[in-house]
Amino acid sequence: MKITRVRAYAIDVPMRLPYTTALVDRTTSQSVLAVVETDEGITGLGQATTSAPLYAPFEQYQEAIVAALEQKLAPAVLGADPFDLEALHDRMQRVARGHLYAQATIDLACHDLMGKATGRPVHKLIGGAVRDRIPLVAPHLGIMPAPTLAEQAAGFVKQGYRFVNLRVGADLRQDIANLQAVRRAVGQEIPIPVDFSQSLHFAGYRADTAIAHLRALEPFGVTAFEQPLADWDLEGMARVAAAIDTPIIADESVRTPEDALRVIERRAADVIKIKIMKVGGIFPARKIAAICQAAAMPITVGNGIAGHVVNAAEAHLAFTLPNLKLPGEMTGFLRLVDDVASGDLTVRDGDLLVPEAPGLGVCLDAARLERYLVAPPAAVGR
């Protein structure tokens, strides 16, 4: 099998639930979808969801991802066998080093192609599922007035979700008010992890002031604090992790296997989070996962604003990880009003069931793709 054509589509899909953090307020999910065609007539799908550039210095806009695909990555992978993942990633790094979001779209499409060619779901190709279901966190709750937040959290619990995730970091008093309201609404048994997404860094906090902020939130039964400081501030993250009893999750701090090693060596976190597009796809994600497993470091997986393709890829990966820290966070597809793809992701009583369709188990809807395009598609190949 050889890759003959790559098409890139910039799309913008409305969200059912707004995504409001201390740094960004979004009502749509912006992403780039890659369609990879082969000489055997099999087509693979890949996707990368973009976020706010404040979150990380290497965050990429849609235009940059499409440009990297059209000008660098697609020409480099034409004629390649999608099964040759090590060689493919070497090619992509050589021509577009650091463009991990764009590389992820090719990687996901190749995994989709491999699964479709063999008639097997991706998780069967990367080690096999070690569980048959994964409890999901409810779609991430943004920063909003406490009564509204409490109502939404209680609604998710009634739907069967057993974990509720909050965005925090805008203001300590508001964080306390929101956590207090949600805790009252969902009771004492529901775990509540919270995500800063580096917001304390952008508010001017350093390790000492961040520690004080986190300690003020601990009495409300917070079960994890995600990325309170800047991605580069591993010293600060290590000081926070040493001072706080609640587990610290490193998200933006880990994009490569080398990043994972540095976080582990410096004890800068208690858990490492993998987002498929942030690390460049399933293949490099598995390298990070292997490092974490060897170091007895738990992993969380997921993206709360992604589309069906990204979340499907994360689900296939998550089902194979023995050191997965629950819950799964591959819930972005649940917050969308619509999507350009549908597929084999089934949620029952707050649990994600193991997907069984070949490849990533996703199907593209041409009419919806046309509806949500934000620019003419880019195509390379015949």
Assign domain 3-119+363-381 one CATH number from 1.10.645.10, 3.40.30.10, 1.10.10.10, 3.30.390.10.
3.30.390.10
Percent of the chain whose pLDDT exceeds 90: 81
| CA 249/CA 228 separation, integer angstroms | 9
Indicate the Cα dihedral angle 339, 129, 134, 250, nearest 10°. Answer: -90
**What is the tens place of the pLDDT at every residue in 122-149?**
999 999 999 999 999 998 888 888 999 9
CB 22 within 8 A of CB 168: yes
The structural domains of the chain, with segments of one domain joined by +, span 3-119+363-381, 124-360
Q: Which two tokens stand for residue 63?
A: 């235009």
CB 106 within 8 A of CB 73: yes
Whether 3-119+363-381 shares its CATH topology with 124-360 is answered: no
**What is the tens place of the pLDDT at every residue in 349-376?**
999 999 999 999 999 999 999 999 998 8
| CA 154/CA 293 separation, integer angstroms | 35
What class does CATH assign to 124-360? Answer: alpha beta
278 vs 56, 103, 282, 304, CA distance in Å?
10, 10, 10, 13
| CA 181/CA 197 separation, integer angstroms | 21
| CA 346/CA 239 separation, integer angstroms | 40
Provide the pLDDT for residue 57.
44
Provide the pLDDT for residue 22.
66
From the first residue on, what is the mean pLDDT of each consecutive set of 10 residues in the chain (382 residues)?
97 86 78 97 96 55 92 97 98 95 97 98 97 93 89 94 90 93 95 90 84 94 94 96 97 96 98 96 98 97 91 98 94 92 91 97 95 91 82
Phi and psi torsions of 355, nearest 5° = -75, 145
351 vs 131, 248, 316, 325, 346, CA distance in Å?
12, 24, 14, 14, 8
